[in-house]
């Protein structure tokens, strides 16, 4: 198949899923054409079946806001036509699904039918999409897609509850490449960070409000009063400065390291004992899956689709959003020497169910089904 993938090229979960999916499809013999405004962060290797097309965004003094959606639609038209694409797969509804609809209509005028698959990732539905300034376009472009997937049952439910959707939504969960995400021998790194055998807690995110990084710091602060522990914070974003201030106020700075946007996050996960994800909303929780693949148990909130991944009492615990007291108790339970290994093993076993080899065929079968459907 010749497949076009449209996504955000950044560190965000939707871009990571889209890029890793494209890479896996290419390894399976498909030609994959990425269409984005810059090279996707995880598109970091050469494969003869992988192609990248950059969206040219021309600005003009009249434009207070350069019309990215138009430039993207035009690029989609160009790539579909000249690379003979069979299907466009757009990740994140805004503005990719509506740009794809426009491209599809333009191509129809040229007697080209291009099926569009839209994957909903989370904030395009749970936060931004619901906003009245976007809702009508989001509803329309989901309904006009030829196929729609969501990354969890919870996200599907949320979409059907908040938007007037008549299109079927197929749930295809996030996945992990276990050949990359696995526990590596990095003991020297652990000794450098935890010289006295402290337990190592870790959080990775884009430091947006919805991630509740302050709960991570409060839970850590409570834990370290009882057992020796350190905390690594990976990623960066709008809440970072406030979080640094909070560490200073709590006097925890010497036990916390802000590592910024790390590419080789699996190296940090390889030496960690507990991953924290106290998010207010989370459609799936890809970062938690990456941790579990590296044998790290997860202490999370029970928001959104997280409980579909993190099994309460088995691979970690799921607590009510903001319940720092409960999270502290559960963190101490997991970190206890007599429990930790059992949780670590269970986390890995659960992660194996989401290996790319199990999830890739779900996308391929879905594409086949869409391609066999007569155009409306």
Residue 276 phi, psi (nearest 5): -110, 130
DSSP letters for 216-254: HHHHHHHHHTTS-EEEEEEB--TTHHHHHHHHHHHT-GG
CA gap 54, 189 in Å, rounded: 38
Instruction: Say whether residue 204 binds ligand GMT (CB under 6 A).
Output: no
Report the residue from 53, 208, 240, 261 that binds ligand GMT according to the rule CB under 6 A.
Answer: 208
CA gap 174, 176 in Å, rounded: 7
How many residues bind ligand GMT, per CB under 6 A?
A: 21
Pairing relation of β-strands 199-204 and 229-234?
A: parallel
CA gap 89, 242 in Å, rounded: 37
Other CB atoms within 10 A of residue 305 CB: 25
CA gap 254, 235 in Å, rounded: 19
Tell me whether residue 122 or residue 278 sits nearer to ligand GMT (CB atom). Answer: 122
Report the residue from 14, 98, 139, 300 that binds ligand GMT according to the rule CB under 6 A.
Answer: 14
Tell me whether residue 55 or residue 309 sits nearer to ligand GMT (CB atom). Answer: 309
Instruction: Say whether residue 186 binds ligand GMT (CB under 6 A).
Output: no
Report the residue from 12, 40, 95, 297 that binds ligand GMT according to the rule CB under 6 A.
Answer: 12
Tell me whether residue 66 or residue 238 sits nearer to ligand GMT (CB atom). Answer: 238
**At closest approach, how far in Å is the CB of 278 from ligand GMT?**
12
Report the residue from 9, 13, 115, 278 that binds ligand GMT according to the rule CB under 6 A.
Answer: 13
Q: Which one of the spans 52-60, 182-190, 258-266, 276-284 is the region binding ligand GMT (CB under 6 A)?
A: 276-284
- Helix-strand-coil split of the chain, %, nearest 5: 45, 20, 40
Bridge partners of 4, per DSSP, are 33, 88
Instruction: Say whether residue 165 binds ligand GMT (CB under 6 A).
Output: no
Report the residue from 151, 172, 347, 348 that binds ligand GMT according to the rule CB under 6 A.
Answer: 151
Report the residue from 210, 250, 311, 321 that binds ligand GMT according to the rule CB under 6 A.
Answer: 210
Tell me whether residue 16 or residue 247 sits nearer to ligand GMT (CB atom). Answer: 16
Beta strands in 37-102 (DSSP E): 50-54, 87-91
Q: What is the rounded radius of gyration, in angstroms, for the C-alpha atoms of the chain?
A: 21
**At closest approach, how far in Å is the CB of 71 from ligand GMT?**
21
Instruction: Say whether residue 96 binds ligand GMT (CB under 6 A).
Output: no
Site for ligand GMT, rule CB under 6 A: 12-15, 17, 92, 121-123, 126, 151, 174, 206, 208, 210, 281-286
């Amino acid at each position: 198949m010749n497949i076009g993938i449209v996504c955000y090229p950044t560190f965000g979960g939707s871009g990571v899923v889209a890029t890793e999916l494209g890479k896996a499809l290419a390894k399976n013999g498909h030609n994959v054409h990425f269409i984005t405004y810059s090279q996707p962060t995880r598109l970091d290797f050469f494969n003869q079946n992988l192609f990248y097309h950059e969206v040219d965004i021309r600005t003009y003094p009249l434009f207070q806001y350069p019309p990215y959606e138009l430039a993207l639609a035009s690029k989609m038209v160009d790539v579909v036509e000249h690379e003979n694409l069979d299907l466009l797969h757009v990740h994140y509804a805004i503005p990719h699904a509506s740009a794809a609809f426009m491209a599809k209509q333009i191509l129809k005028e040229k007697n080209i039918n291009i099926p569009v698959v839209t994957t909903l990732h989370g904030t395009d539905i749970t936060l931004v999409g619901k906003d009245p300034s976007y809702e009508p376009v989001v509803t329309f472009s989901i309904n006009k897609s030829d196929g729609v997937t969501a990354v969890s049952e919870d996200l599907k439910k949320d979409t059907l509850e908040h938007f007037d959707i008549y299109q079927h939504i197929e749930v295809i969960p996030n996945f992990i490449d276990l050949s990359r995400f696995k526990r590596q021998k990095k003991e020297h790194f652990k000794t450098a960070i935890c010289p006295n055998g402290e337990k190592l807690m870790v959080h990775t995110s884009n430091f947006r409000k919805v991630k509740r990084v302050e709960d991570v710091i409060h839970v850590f602060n409570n834990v370290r009063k009882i057992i020796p522990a350190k905390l690594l914070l990976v990623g960066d974003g709008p809440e970072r400065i406030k979080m640094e201030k909070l560490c200073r106020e709590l006097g925890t700075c010497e036990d916390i390291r802000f590592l910024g946007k790390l590419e080789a996050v699996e190296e940090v996960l390889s030496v960690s004992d507990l991953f924290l994800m106290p998010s207010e909303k989370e459609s799936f929780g890809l970062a938690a899956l990456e941790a579990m693949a590296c044998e790290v148990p997860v202490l999370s909130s029970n928001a959104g689709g997280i409980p579909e991944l993190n099994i309460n009492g088995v691979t970690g615990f799921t607590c009510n959003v903001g319940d720092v007291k409960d999270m502290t108790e559960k963190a101490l339970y997991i970190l206890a020497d007599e429990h930790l290994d059992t949780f670590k093993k269970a986390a890995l076993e659960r992660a194996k169910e989401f290996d790319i080899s199990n999830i890739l065929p779900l996308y391929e079968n879905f594409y086949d089904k869409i391609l066999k459907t007569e155009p409306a």
